[in-house]
Structures are given as structure tokens and as C-alpha cells.
């Protein structure tokens, strides 16, 4: 895999050579970008601002952005609607929050699918590009075009209460983004509570929930150490996918040269983000320990049990979509094949 810095230099150079002259005299294009991320979220610099900066630089300033983070334009669950309605031009969408509208995109959030962010991200990119099953059967009918996609490192369980074994999860009220992660928690006899990430801190601090499932970076970004005392390591309770995209209606009004820049910069941003996330997992654990969070590795028997449940959840997810007339099994098969090819 090319390192992110090399990718950035190659993309920036190639795009500057092809686009700077073409756009120097063009009327300036200002695009609104909206998402739910807090200003300090670890996705911000290596993905969102990285992409905006690459596009602006590659178009010699012809394309600029107005960025509205932290749910300034709407709630996390409304981001897709905001893009499709034109309230924002580009929206950061979390499929798990709207799995009724983006059921196939959740394939990269299924538990046990991959070990690293880049493995999950590169596989998802194949399915969301033109010709991919998700692009053709989910995004195209909606009129939504993905520009950046990322699957974050496997989710762990964090808790206010001591964690020693999988059995200790029984009866615990655990936050989840929904979808297959809910099913996974029920397999472990926990009580899933569907909740968007910005709402976790208050609920955890008050004891409304006992814990939840997030990646290590998000646990830090949402300032959960303090109320959270324990976190697992080495497990895969699912993941979360972020898709930054634009409506097809707005896309068609952009010059073809700008479209090319946005797509190429989007792929570079996806790769940069996953490499950043993977590199920082161990550093995240060190930061969590420094903040008083105990890192727990569950017994090997529990690890195998969790992996077996994850396999069952993936199959059940696909079969449930098949029954709804959605290509669940086709999507899962394509995704697992893409994961194998990415290894």
C-alpha cells in the first residue's frame, strides 16, 4: 500500500498539472459541507479537511468550501436528506444511523469482518465506486454519489463497570449505532440502546447506559474517559462507516474537471484516513490508559465465541435483507471477496 504522504503528493501534483490552468479563470464554486462530527474529532484533519484542502489546491482556488461540523445544519440522522434536498452540497452520512435508507452500506459495519480500517475501507471502496453493487443498487436509486468512504477500526466495548469476560456483558445497557451491532449485542445477552455518538457522554455519566461500542479514537474524541473505566482490545464488535457524498443533481451541475478532482481527492482522503486510524490505535490505548481507563483482553475462549457470533450475525443480516427484496447475500459475498483481495 502506498503511504498516505506519497499518495497525497502524487494526487496533488497530477491534479495541479491537469486542473490549475483549466480553473484559473473559472467562476469560483463554493460548496457547503456538513456533518455531525465535533470539532476535535479524529476524522476531521486526516479526512474532511484533507479532502477540502486537496480539492481547493488542485483547482487553484476555483473550488472553496464552507464547513458546518457538529450538527450545525442538522442531526446526524438527517445528513442524507440535507444533501438530497440541497440544504448542503456534501454531507457526511453514517449508514448505521439510517439503515432503513442505506441497508447495503452497513455491510462494512458487520462484526468480525476485518481487522484493520484500511482492509475494510479498501473493500468498501470497490463496492461504492461506479459498477459496484452498492453504487448501483443503493446510491444510484437515491441520487447520492459517494466521494469519500471509510470503515473505522473494529469497535470495542467500553464500560462504567469492570469487564473480565463476555459473560460480564449480560444485562448491560450498551449504546450502539444500530443495525447489525444491535444483533451482535443481543447474541451476547446485552441490552442494546440505539444512540448517536454525540449523545453518549451525558447518558454514560448519568448512568442511563452502562457503556457502549465505539472505536478507540471515538472514545477519546467524545471525551468518554472518566465515566468510562474499561475498554476491550482485540475484539470486533462491528465498525462504523462514514460516507461523504453529494446529490446527483448537484453533481451534474459541476464541471467535469471538478468532478474528476473531487473523486481523486476523495480516494486519497479515504486512504489517508484509514492509514491514520490504523496507525493510531495503539497510541489511542496508551492515551486511554493515561486517562485511567483499564484495557481488557478477554479470554481466548470468549474471543472465539464472539467471532462465532459475528459470523452468524453476518449471515442473518444478509438473509434478512434478501427477504426484503434487497441483495443482502450478493452484497455480503462481494464484500468478503473484496476483503480477501485487499489482504
Which tens digits make up the pLDDT trace of 180-216?
A: 889 999 999 999 999 988 899 999 999 999 999 999 9
Using CA atoms, how far residue 332 sits from 2, 51, 119, 124, 328, in Å, is 27, 29, 15, 11, 6
Is residue 13's pLDDT more than 70?
no
Domain positions in the chain are: 4-102+116-151+244-280, 156-238+287-324
Query: pLDDT tens across 251-309, in order?
Result: 999 999 999 999 999 999 999 999 999 999 999 999 999 999 999 999 999 999 999 99
Q: What is the Cα–Cα distance from 178 to 199, expressed in whole angstroms?
A: 14
Q: 93, 211, 234, 94: which is closest to 154 by C-alpha? A: 234
Percent of the chain with pLDDT over 70: 92
The grid coordinates listed for 101 are: 435508507
Query: pLDDT tens across 42-93, in order?
Result: 899 999 999 999 999 999 999 999 999 999 999 999 999 999 999 999 999 9
Q: At what angle do helices 300-323 and 180-187 cross, to 10 degrees?
A: 130
pTM value is: 0.86
Mean pLDDT, rounded, for 98-106: 94
For residue 249, give the DSSP letter: H
Give me the phi and psi of 176, to 5 degrees please: -150, 155
SS3 annotation, 65-77: EEEECCCCCCCHH
CB 321 within 8 A of CB 327: yes
The secondary element (H helix, E strand) that includes residue 245 is: strand 241-247
Contacts of residue 131, defined as CB under 8 A and 6 or more positions apart, other chains included, come to none
Query: pLDDT tens across 104-150, in order?
Result: 999 999 999 899 999 999 999 999 999 999 999 999 999 999 999 99
- 16-41 exposure pattern, b = at least 16 Cβ within 10 A, e = fewer: eeebeebbeebeebebbbbbbbbeeb
Confidence of residue 15 (pLDDT cuts 50, 70, 90): very low
Residue 26: the pLDDT is 54
Q: What is the Cα–Cα distance from 51 to 70, expressed in whole angstroms?
A: 18
Domain 156-238+287-324: CATH superfamily, name plus number = Bacterial extracellular solute-binding protein, family 7 (3.40.190.170)
Instruction: State the chain's maximal CA–CA distance in angstroms.
Output: 65
Residue 21: the pLDDT is 42
The grid coordinates listed for 312 are: 452468524
Residue 22: the pLDDT is 42
Q: Do domains 4-102+116-151+244-280 and 156-238+287-324 have the same CATH topology?
A: yes
Q: What is the Cα–Cα distance from 270 to 97, expressed in whole angstroms?
A: 20
Q: What is the Cα–Cα distance from 208 to 193, expressed in whole angstroms?
A: 10
Indicate the CATH number for domain 4-102+116-151+244-280.
3.40.190.170
CB 215 within 8 A of CB 239: yes
SS3 annotation, 113-167: CCCCHHHHHHHHHHHHCCCCHHHHHHHHHHCEEEEEEEECCCCEEEECCCCCCHH
Amino acid at each position: 500500500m502506498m503511504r498516505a504522504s506519497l499518495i497525497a503528493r502524487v494526487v496533488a501534483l497530477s491534479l495541479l498539472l491537469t486542473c490549475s490552468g483549466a480553473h484559473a479563470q473559472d467562476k469560483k464554486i463554493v460548496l457547503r459541507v456538513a456533518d455531525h462530527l465535533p470539532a476535535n474529532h479524529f476524522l476531521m484533519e486526516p479526512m474532511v479537511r484533507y479532502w477540502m484542502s486537496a480539492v481547493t489546491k488542485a483547482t487553484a482556488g476555483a473550488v472553496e468550501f464552507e464547513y458546518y461540523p457538529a450538527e450545525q445544519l442538522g442531526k446526524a440522522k438527517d445528513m442524507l436528506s440535507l444533501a438530497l434536498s440541497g440544504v448542503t452540497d456534501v454531507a457526511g452520512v453514517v449508514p448505521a444511523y439510517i439503515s432503513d435508507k442505506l441497508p447495503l452500506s452497513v455491510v462494512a459495519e458487520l462484526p468480525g469482518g476485518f481487522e484493520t480500517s484500511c482492509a475494510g475501507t479498501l473493500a468498501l471502496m470497490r463496492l461504492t465506486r461506479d459498477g459496484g453493487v452498492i453504487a448501483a443498487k443503493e446510491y444510484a436509486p437515491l441520487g447520492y454519489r459517494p466521494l469519500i468512504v471509510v470503515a473505522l477500526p473494529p469497535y470495542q466495548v467500553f464500560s462504567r463497570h469492570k469487564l473480565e469476560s463476555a459473560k460480564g456483558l449480560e444485562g448491560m445497557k450498551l449504546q450502539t449505532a444500530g443495525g447489525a451491532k444491535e444483533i451482535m449485542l443481543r447474541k451476547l445477552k446485552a441490552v442494546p440502546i440505539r444512540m448517536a455518538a454525540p449523545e453518549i457522554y451525558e447518558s454514560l455519566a448519568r448512568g442511563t447506559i452502562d457503556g457502549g461500542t465505539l472505536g478507540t479514537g471515538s472514545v477519546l474524541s467524545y471525551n468518554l474517559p472518566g465515566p468510562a473505566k474499561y475498554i476491550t482490545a482485540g475484539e470486533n464488535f462491528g465498525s462504523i462507516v462514514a460516507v461523504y457524498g453529494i446529490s446527483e443533481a448537484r453533481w451534474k451541475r459541476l464541471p467535469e474537471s471538478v468532478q474528476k478532482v473531487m473523486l481523486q481527492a476523495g480516494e486519497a482522503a479515504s486512504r489517508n484516513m484509514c492509514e491514520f486510524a490504523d496507525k493510531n490505535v495503539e497510541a489511542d490505548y496508551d492515551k486511554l490508559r493515561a486517562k485511567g481507563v483499564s484495557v481488557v483482553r478477554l479470554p481466548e475462549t470468549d474471543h472465539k465465541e464472539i467471532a462465532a457470533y459475528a459470523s452468524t450475525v453476518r449471515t442473518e443480516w444478509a438473509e434478512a435483507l434478501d427477504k426484503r427484496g434487497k441483495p443482502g447475500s450478493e452484497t455480503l459475498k462481494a464484500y468478503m471477496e473484496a476483503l480477501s483481495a485487499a489482504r
